[in-house]
């Protein structure tokens, strides 16, 4: 018995996420044929060189012809445009999905261009590294990560289940929620952390009394942890903040209140407020490690060199 789940799968956009899905689908043999494409000619060329898909199509319209599943893996700001490209070329009954980090705007902007005879089921795999581009993806990226589906209320349960099965097969856990709730949850677990990291890395870069060389050298005191997510793809993240503006601003408000509380405690020398806060946050780390959502080892499991053997 074959493990083929869809006769033809099309992946549009071969960045970190799209190329990872392509690798996983291919490695597990989940598609009868895997067709890929990208807006960039250089990336299409690279995809053909490294074998990302059985066929690399030249246009979005061509790529989706006769596809049973289309996954749009582009920055959320261009999801609407891609939907406009493909809307008239989709097969009746096809499942169309995406991987965007914001769901309400994507749902609205893509729906406007998709015909009623396809199943549109937005998705967001909560996974990724700071790298981008077709060479950075890997088939194992989604293992034990969550993929959130945000089907519209009238979505066909069979189509939802088919998409969920694909995500589970490539290693993800699947959760279903509304687009609005997704955007609130991700604003705190992903968008606000990125905004804060982008901010502090920028702050450290333009100080008057500390040089950039010093910031880099002594970054192991904590700063380096922030630089990883502040190295994420600028286009992707610009689009996320613009698309999820309201939820991000709401979370920022809560963050600012809490930062004011701790700033006041430092200014007043109130050690008890600081100690209580720091004790509470320590427990949260344990919860994440226990859920398998981070490495159990200290320091994210970063590697260490060895000391030379003892001389005598």
Q: Which residues, 93 to 122, sit near its own copies by CB under 8 A?
A: 101
The binding track of 227-246 with respect to its own copies, each residue x by CB under 8 A or -, is xxxxxx-xx-xxx-xx--x-
- Closest by CA to 30, choosing from 145, 125, 135, 139, is 139
Tell me the closest approach of the beta carbon of residue 108 to its own copies, in angstroms.
Answer: 16
Backbone angles phi, psi at 115, to 5 degrees: -70, 160
Tell me the closest approach of the beta carbon of residue 162 to its own copies, in angstroms.
Answer: 18
The binding track of 203-222 with respect to its own copies, each residue x by CB under 8 A or -, is xxx-x-xx-x-xxxxxxxxx
SS3 labels along the chain: CCCCCEEEEEEECCCHHHHHHHHHHHHHCCEEEEEEECCCHHHHHHHHHCCCCCEECCCHHHHHCCCCEEEECCCHHHHHHHHHHHHHHCCCCCEEEECCCCCHHHHHHHHCCCCCCCEECCEEEECCCCCCCCCCCCCCCCCCCEEEECCCCCCCHHHHHHHHHHHHHCCCEEEECCHHHHHHHHHHHHHHHHHHHHHHHHHHHCCCCCCHHHHHHCHHHCHHHHHHHCCCCHHHHHHHHHHCHHHHHHHHHHHHHHHHHHHHHHHHCCHHHHHHHHHHHHHHHHHHHHCCCCCCCHHHHCCCCCCCCCCC
Asked if residue 41 binds its own copies (CB under 8 A), the reply is no
Tell me the closest approach of the beta carbon of residue 6 to its own copies, in angstroms.
Answer: 16
Q: Which of 40, 59, 111, 136 binds its own copies (CB under 8 A)?
A: 136
Tell me the closest approach of the beta carbon of residue 141 to its own copies, in angstroms.
Answer: 7
Q: In what order do the strands lie in the sheet with 6-12?
A: 55-56, 31-37, 6-12, 69-72, 95-98, 119-120
**157 vs 303, which CB is nearer to its own copies?**
303
Asked if residue 271 binds its own copies (CB under 8 A), the reply is yes
The binding track of 287-306 with respect to its own copies, each residue x by CB under 8 A or -, is xx--x-xxx--xxxxxxxxx
Q: Which of 112, 170, 174, 179 binds its own copies (CB under 8 A)?
A: 170
Number of residues that bind its own copies (CB under 8 A): 125
Asked if residue 29 binds its own copies (CB under 8 A), the reply is yes
Tell me the closest approach of the beta carbon of residue 9 to its own copies, in angstroms.
Answer: 15
Of the candidate spans 7-15, 54-62, 114-122, 267-275, the one that interacts with its own copies by CB under 8 A turns out to be: 267-275
d(CA 251, CA 188): 6
Asked if residue 285 binds its own copies (CB under 8 A), the reply is yes
Asked if residue 254 binds its own copies (CB under 8 A), the reply is yes
Burial of 109 (0-12, 13-18, 19+ CB in 10 A): buried
Q: Which of residues 65-84 bind its own copies (CB under 8 A)?
A: 77
Of the candidate spans 42-50, 90-98, 149-157, 268-276, the one that interacts with its own copies by CB under 8 A turns out to be: 268-276
Asked if residue 189 binds its own copies (CB under 8 A), the reply is yes
Tell me the closest approach of the beta carbon of residue 85 to its own copies, in angstroms.
Answer: 21
Asked if residue 223 binds its own copies (CB under 8 A), the reply is yes
Q: Which of 145, 162, 176, 178 binds its own copies (CB under 8 A)?
A: 145
Asked if residue 6 binds its own copies (CB under 8 A), the reply is no
Structure tokens belonging to residue 32 = 């009868």
Tell me the closest approach of the beta carbon of residue 75 to its own copies, in angstroms.
Answer: 11
Asked if residue 39 binds its own copies (CB under 8 A), the reply is no
């Amino acid at each position: 018995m074959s493990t083929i789940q869809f006769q033809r799968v099309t992946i549009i956009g071969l960045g970190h996420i799209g190329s990872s899905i392509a690798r996983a689908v291919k490695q597990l043999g989940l598609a009868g044929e895997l067709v890929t494409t990208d807006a960039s000619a250089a990336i299409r060329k690279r995809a053909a060189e490294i074998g990302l898909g059985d066929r690399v199509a030249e246009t979005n319209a061509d790529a989706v012809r006769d596809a049973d599943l289309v996954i749009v893996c582009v920055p959320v700001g261009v999801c609407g445009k891609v939907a406009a490209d493909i809307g008239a070329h989709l097969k009746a009954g096809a499942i169309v999905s995406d991987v965007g980090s914001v769901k309400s705007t994507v749902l609205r902007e893509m729906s406007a261009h998709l015909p009623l005879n396809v199943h549109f089921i937005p998705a967001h795999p909560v996974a990724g590294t700071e790298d981008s581009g077709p060479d950075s993806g890997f088939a194992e990226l989604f293992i034990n990560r969550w993929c959130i589906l945000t089907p519209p209320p009238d979505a066909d349960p069979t189509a939802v289940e088919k998409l969920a099965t694909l995500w589970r097969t490539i290693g993800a856990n699947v959760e279903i929620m509304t687009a609005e709730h997704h955007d609130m949850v991700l604003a705190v677990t992903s968008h606000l952390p990125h905004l804060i990291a982008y901010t502090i890395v920028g702050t450290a870069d333009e100080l008057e009394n500390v040089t950039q060389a010093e910031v880099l050298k002594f970054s192991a005191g904590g700063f380096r942890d922030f630089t990883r997510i502040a190295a994420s793809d600028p286009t992707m993240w610009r689009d996320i903040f613009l698309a999820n503006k309201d939820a991000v601003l709401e979370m920022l408000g809560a963050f600012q209140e809490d930062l004011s509380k701790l700033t006041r405690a430092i200014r007043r020398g109130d050690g008890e407020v600081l100690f209580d806060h720091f004790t509470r946050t320590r427990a949260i780390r344990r919860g994440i490690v226990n859920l398998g959502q981070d490495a159990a080892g200290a320091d994210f499991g970063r590697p260490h060199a060895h000391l030379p053997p003892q001389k005598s």
